[in-house]
Amino acid sequence: MKKLIPIISLFLISLTVSAQNTDSITIRKLFDAALSQQVDYNTLSYMCTHIGQRLSGSDNAEKAVVYTEAKLKEFGADSVWLQPCMVTHWVRGDKETASANSKKLNKKQTLPCCALGGSIGTGTQGLTAQVIEVHGLNEVQKLGIDKVKGKIVFYNGPFDPKFLDTFTGYSQAVGQRGGAAREAAKYGAVGVLVRSMTPNHDDYPHTGAMGYNDSIKKIPAIAISTNSADSLDAMLAKDADVQVTFRTTCQTLPDVPSHNVIAELKGTEYPNETIVVGGHLDSWDLAQGAHDDGAGAIQSMEVLRLFKQLGIRPKHTIRVVLFMNEEHGGQGAKAYADFAKTNGEKALAGIETDRGGFAPRGFSLDVTPELWNYLSQWKPLLADFNCGEFIHAGSGADVGDLKGICPVLGELYPDPQRYFDIHHSALDVIDEVNWRELEMGGASLAAFMYLLDTHGIPGMN
């Protein structure tokens, strides 16, 4: 028996090394195929240039549904279907205008701007009022109704550039965008301006979703570029009576029907157990939505294409979900989560990609400590392909609704340094996407999906 134990140990070590070698070879094939063919980039380029922006409820959003459904069939999915969902239908209207005027300084300053998603319009005559500056939601409460009533509130809380992960800076600043109008209206404000959510100093306004309290009067909200926010701040330092005029004609129409696009490769051993990978198909309307989230939607499709092309027949069912309306209500994610719960889906993981098509670093994972230790065994293997950095944090907005259904929730983690330069702005175009970085991200996603499928999750089978 004493001689047998070392022999068994050597045998198990040999099996482990053999499995790692097989994994490494397969992952290398995934990267080779992605980098040599550029299908990700070509597919994204077509969607950006021939369809363009994909605001939920728009004709372009529906064109994207038709296009990606056809591409998934072309890529060889075992099945493709459209899942109905009702989505928000907000329209921007005419090009927005804004300016600041100081009689004391004899100065008028144009403010590059855009309406925030979900905002009401000012009407064709526009809105003019004295502006008052704050640096966060709590400052409005401190000022109170006496100082806020009848004014336009200018939220100038900056995006802190000191965080190495720009998503941390964004998460700390974005609350003023979402709650700006709601909070200011409590104290009688007539409109709000919000500093754009970017660490850059430029003339590009960044849009994004905001919300109202239905029990409080709704007031119009716009974002202004960081350069114009700095200029307005400087004017107010010299003249507290600056007047701002802005005009928007945006409006929210009744919800309209749309679809999630879903495709599968059926599992050979566990067909009733799914591994979900996805991104959102909709985008804001200022640009082509190349990074947010055209890149993620196409990279998710690439997982299926690579598996099919390389003859990788998954043990579990690989399901690609292209979610509709992440940007403005998340109705697609809710529809899919309701479907999964109603049908008693047994799912190993929900993995999302919605951080842009930049060079991949690894994955952000929302898992138990035990599963963190288990998944961390793959870090050295993925590090060989520059995607082995794991972060024990949250998952994406769309797969987050699968909490309690999937033991593993996660998100592809690309390099975050440039994302908020272009996020929700007119700069989010295909020319800002590097084809190699995009293909590397698609291959990294496919590699992680391959490992999940091949090795499974403890307790699932």
Average pLDDT over every residue of 174-192? 97
Same domain, 58 and 196: no
Same domain, 212 and 291: no
pLDDT band at 17 (very low <50, low <70, confident <90, very high): low
Distance of CA 57 to the CA centre of its chain: 18
DSSP output for 339-403: HHHHTT-EEEEEEE--S-SS-EEEEEEE--HHHHHHHGGGHHHHHTTT--EEEES---TTGGGGB
**What total number of domains does the chain contain?**
2
Same domain, 259 and 396: yes
Last residue of a domain, one of 232, 249, 266: 249
Q: Is residue 460 one of the residues assigned to a domain?
A: no
Q: Is residue 442 one of the residues assigned to a domain?
A: yes
**HSE-CB of 391 using CA atoms within 13 angstroms:** 17
pLDDT band at 460 (very low <50, low <70, confident <90, very high): confident
Domain harbouring 241, CATH code: 3.50.30.30
Q: Alpha helix locations (H) across 239-294?
A: none
Among residues 96, 139, 326, 327, the one annotated as catalytic is 326
Q: How do residues 388-423 score in pLDDT, each as one tens digit?
A: 999 999 899 999 999 999 999 999 999 999 999 999
Give the span between the Cα atoms of 177 and 30, in whole angstroms. 40
Average pLDDT over every residue of 180-194? 98
Paired sense of beta strands 107-110 and 191-195, if any: unpaired
Domain harbouring 342, CATH code: 3.40.630.10
Last residue of a domain, one of 249, 266, 287: 249
Residue 165 scores a pLDDT above 90: yes
CB 272 within 8 A of CB 345: no
Same domain, 160 and 117: yes
- Active site annotation includes 302: no
Residue 8 scores a pLDDT above 60: no
Same domain, 75 and 126: no
Same domain, 426 and 438: yes
Same domain, 125 and 227: yes
Domain that holds residue 206: 93-249
Q: Is residue 196 one of the residues assigned to a domain?
A: yes
Give the span between the Cα atoms of 251 and 95, in whole angstroms. 13
The H-or-E segment that residue 37 falls in is helix 4-37
Residue 383 scores a pLDDT above 60: yes
Average pLDDT over every residue of 10-29? 71
Q: How do residues 203-233 score in pLDDT, each as one tens digit?
A: 999 999 999 999 999 999 999 999 999 999 9
Same domain, 84 and 101: no
Same domain, 63 and 133: no
Same domain, 42 and 108: no
pLDDT of amino acid 6: 52
CA-based nearest residue to 430, from 288, 302, 297 = 288
Same domain, 356 and 330: yes
Same domain, 184 and 321: no
CA-based nearest residue to 313, from 181, 450, 438, 406 = 450
Q: How do residues 246-297 score in pLDDT, each as one tens digit?
A: 999 999 999 999 999 999 999 999 999 999 999 999 999 999 999 999 999 9
What is the length of the chain? 461
Q: How do residues 84-142 score in pLDDT, each as one tens digit?
A: 999 999 999 999 999 999 999 999 999 999 999 999 999 999 999 999 999 999 999 99
CB 407 within 8 A of CB 268: no
